[in-house]
A and B are shown apart, each in its own frame.
Chain A
């Protein structure tokens, strides 16, 4: 069976490598991607429309804001699915795994983590808030923030991390993130524009239309960051403890 499945794998791999010869040169100005009207529109107009230097953030959070909103919803649904499947899947106290030990948390590990976590969290806020200007944004900042809670769970135990950020609060924060994103979209709709048409927010913000889009992008990135932070931690907490939410790794 293994040999049989190897034959189509090699055949398809050969086809893919063969087809890759037709790719345009990397950075070729005459390639279809560089010549397309839509990419030239983004390159030419992002700075004028939104005053955001990082084009990637502007495309993700503004021009394709609808897409990013449902990406955030997908992350939320993933967290809910893991909760729904794992919660109560193991009845009572299942047998102890051999990696579950009663030792005290290691002194060196916990003290190192004590020093590292504030740095990670401040860096997460920087990545989130600076996403317009430099690489970064809601997803990356949220994952970094979630990772800091996972680090607590890894170096002490899951209960310590859950006492800081219980699963109920996680789901509340995750839902709030999507609410913030959709709320900014709805607000711009009520102010006379279309859904997620941030420029209309100039009527409530004391800034120009371009800067309204700039600040609304920060708002939706914060929403994405909330959801991703909470869901990353929920995923880890449930998977590490089979949904029992205690002991963990």
Chain B
């Protein structure tokens, strides 16, 4: 049980780091990839909590397709963010 608590805490910390990092970086491509990492960490958390259906959807849609679509869009834009 204590192992699961440790796992959850570790993933949640990484989640916060990924969320802040994807907003922080100036390069939009890096931002999109870090956002995919965020989705994958979310997927791990859901799988650990027993919501396997949600985890599966997050892995396919969140970490898979939306990263690809974001990268495809960024290639047609300027890569640097002004913000």
Contact = CB atoms under 8 A, between A and B. Distances in A.
A99 interface: yes
Interface of A: 2, 26, 54, 56-57, 97, 99, 127, 135-137, 139-140, 143-144, 146-147, 150, 154, 232, 235-236, 239-240, 242, 248-249
A239 B52 contact: no
A4 to B, nearest CB: 13
The secondary structure that dominates the A interface is helix
Contact of B69 (A97, A135, A137, A235): A235
Q: Give chain B's interface secondary structure class.
A: helix
A26 B49 contact: yes
A140 B54 CA distance: 10
Given A99-B75, A240-B75, A249-B75, A139 B68 contact: no
A57 to B, nearest CB: 8
A143 B60 contact: yes
19 contacts: A99-B75, A135-B52, A135-B55, A136-B56, A139-B60, A147-B60, A150-B65, A232-B65, A235-B65, A235-B69, A236-B68, A236-B72, A239-B69, A239-B76, A240-B72, A240-B75, A242-B76, A248-B72, A249-B72
Given A235-B65, A236-B68, A236-B69, 10 more contacts: A2-B83, A26-B49, A57-B53, A99-B75, A139-B57, A146-B65, A147-B60, A150-B65, A240-B75, A240-B76
A234 B69 CA distance: 11
Nearest to A1: B83
A240 B76 CA distance: 7
A248 B1 CA distance: 49
A104 to B, nearest CB: 20
A136 B53 contact: yes
Contacts of A97: 75-76
